[in-house]
Amino acid sequence: DGGITQSPKYLFRKEGQNVTLSCEQNLNHDAMYWYRQDPGQGLRLIYYSQIVNDFQKGDIAEGYSVSREKKESFPLTVTSAQKNPTAFYLCASRLAGDQETQYFGPGTRLLVL
């Protein structure tokens, strides 16, 4: 059963805490992405990675970090430097050569306690 999985579904962060959101895909896709969605807003790109061990900043990378040690995994860390982390976080992936089709995971909702 191929697809993109994100965990956890809900995540609570205390002030000053770093938290990591998981994204795994078994589609053998090359590129992976992290987006943030706020209520009434479109999706905004945080980071993306086209190949293993390489990633680029998106439009709102400040306060976030990523790694891409394996092709199928692209975890996102929300650091304490991100002052407004409450949002819906979406991971996506794409096959190389298939530029127009990004497939999204089910999302992680992050809330600050």
Using rule CB under 8 A, residue 60 touches other proteins: no
What's the rounded Cα separation, in Å, for the pair 16 and 78?
A: 10
By beta-carbon proximity to other proteins, the closer residue of 17 and 98 is: 98
The interface region with other proteins, picked from 14-22, 56-64, 65-73, 76-84 by CB under 8 A, is 56-64
Please answer whether residues 64 and 5 qualify as being in contact, where contact means their C-beta atoms are separated by less than 8 angstroms.
no
Instruction: Give all strands of the β-sheet with 4-7 in edge-to-edge order.
Output: 4-7, 19-25, 76-78, 64-66
Can you read off the two tokens belonging to residue 89? 């976080």
Q: Which residue has the tokens 């992405």?
A: 33
Using rule CB under 8 A, residue 105 touches other proteins: yes
Chain residues 8-47 in contact with other proteins, contact rule CB under 8 A: 31, 33, 40-45
Contact residues for other proteins (CB under 8 A)?
4, 6, 31, 33, 40-45, 48, 50, 56, 58-59, 88, 90, 99-107, 109
